[in-house]
A and B are shown apart, each in its own frame.
Chain A
Amino acid sequence: EVQLVESGGGLVQPGGSLRLSCAASGFTVSSNYMSWVRQAPGKGLEGVSVIYSGSNTYYADSVKGRFTISRDNSKNTLYLQMNSLRAEDTAVYYCARDVAAAFPNWGQGTLVTVSS
């Protein structure tokens, strides 16, 4: 069974950093396209970043230069390093597995709150 479990969210001050983790089971992270999607409170879904199986990465303009997506193949885990955090980065962050250009598998989400 495919499972994705996020962790690492919490309260951080503006300008601070957090690293989110997404532990995968039931499939191999390195062989799949993996993404981070966020949802601000009461708002819609926003694509944040994607990492391809070949290691190419892409970012939304809103996070480019501040966020870094990566994976640890030995731990079968996806990461999102978030630096220079802003109030507008406050959201639930989901990791998702891409299968044939759709997301059938999602984690439960982890809440990031940026506030002083």
Chain B
Amino acid sequence: DIQMTQSPSSLSASVGDRVTITCRASQSISTYLNWYQQKPGKAPKLLIYAASSLQSGVPSRFSGSGSGTDFTLTISSLQPEDFATYYCQQSYSTLWTFGQGTKVEIK
């Protein structure tokens, strides 16, 4: 199985901050990498697909980059509604796997 490792596991930030979350795959996955946002009691929401493509309806302050084994999700200016948990997911192998999540909290 392909293992996905996110860092950090949690972070505290203020509204307006630039936030970066990283995700590392245990083997090369090309650009088969997606990012999701999840709020308590809700289903995950797709933000970024294919490493850098913005899902329709998602604000442009979200961006993704990377290929191979190292990937990044960036929120350019954190908004109150962005406090949530973020997951990366590889869709390279038959049964895709998720990172362990990064919780973004209010400082």
Asked if B46 is at the interface (CB within 8 A of a chain A CB), the reply is yes
The count of A-to-B residue pairs whose CB atoms sit within 8 angstroms is: 58
Q: Which residues of A contact B100 (CB under 8 A)?
A: 44
Q: Which residues of B contact A61 (CB under 8 A)?
A: 1
Residue ID in chain A nearest B85 by CB atoms: A44
Instruction: Tally A residues with Cβ within 8 Å of B.
Output: 21
Interface hub of B46, B97, B99 (most chain A Cβ within 10 A): B46
Evaluate contact between B46 and A58: CB separation under 8 angstroms.
Answer: no
Q: How large is the interface on B (under 10, 10 to 19, 20 to 34, 35 or more residues)?
A: 20 to 34
Task: Tell me the chain A residues, 32-53 only, with Cβ under 8 Å from chain B.
Answer: 44-47, 49-50
Q: Which residues of A contact B38 (CB under 8 A)?
A: 45
Residue ID in chain B nearest A52 by CB atoms: B94
Asked if B67 is at the interface (CB within 8 A of a chain A CB), the reply is no
Q: How far, in angstroms, from A107 to B44 measured CA to CA in the complex?
A: 9
16 further A-B contacts with Cβ under 8 Å, apart from A50-B96, A102-B34, A102-B50, are A44-B99, A44-B101, A45-B36, A45-B38, A45-B98, A46-B98, A50-B95, A59-B95, A61-B1, A100-B49, A102-B49, A102-B55, A102-B91, A104-B49, A106-B43, A106-B45
Q: Which residues of A contact B (CB under 8 A)?
A: 44-47, 49-50, 58-61, 94, 98, 100-104, 106-109
